Amino acid sequence: MKALLINCSPVRTGATAEIISIINEEISGRYETKCICIDDYDFAYCKGCRSCHKTANCVIEDDIRKIMDEFDEADIIISVSPSYWADIPGQYKAFIDRCTPWCDTHEPHKSLKEGKKGYAVALRTGPGMHECERIIQSIEHFYGHLHIEKTGRLGLTSIEYKENVAPRKQEIIEFCRTI
């Protein structure tokens, strides 16, 4: 089985990437893993033209299809997102907006292979879990429209820098046992 780990942050080497690394290390013995960062892809914002509502295709040619091919190949998708003003980063939101051709919000639409399981991990700098819940809800809402089963979630507070992840490593490892 294949697991796709997606760093929803535009920062390739920060705390989010450190969490991805721990998850990858923990599950790579059970799954064939692939880690990607949203910022490794070049894509434009949705133009709101709704052409995809009629054709199930976007009029913009860029890297969105490459990312969605990664989603389609995976059996398990793990999205790890930091809080940017109490929600997912703009880059990940722009990606979600561009996935409308694959979402069940209109007919016709493309579909991913069935049976995928999705996990959401959120991190934030402050101590309260409310922002983590909001981020997880955004990711799970997206999964729902792609027919990805929402299977697990983890919220991590008080993480601003990469160094703040180490004291939470055991918590992340425990979460990985559910994957």
CATH code at position 150: 3.40.50.360
Distance CA 134, CA 27 (A): 26
Q: What are phi and psi of 13, to 5 degrees?
A: -130, 15
Q: Would you give the DSSP letter of residue 161?
A: S
For residue range 7-40, list pLDDT tens digits in order: 999 999 999 999 999 999 999 999 999 999 999 9
Looking at residue 15, what is its pLDDT? 98
DSSP codes, 98-131: HTGGGSTTSSS---PPS--EEEEEEE-SSS-SHH
The mean per-residue pLDDT over the stretch 124-140 comes to: 97
Question: Which residues form the domain of 126?
Answer: 2-176
**3-state DSSP helix/strand/coil % of the chain, to nearest 5:** 40, 20, 40
Q: How many domains does the chain have?
A: 1
Q: What phi, psi does 172 have (nearest 5°)?
A: -70, -40
71-128 tens-digit pLDDT: 999 999 999 999 999 999 999 999 999 999 999 999 999 999 999 999 999 999 999 9
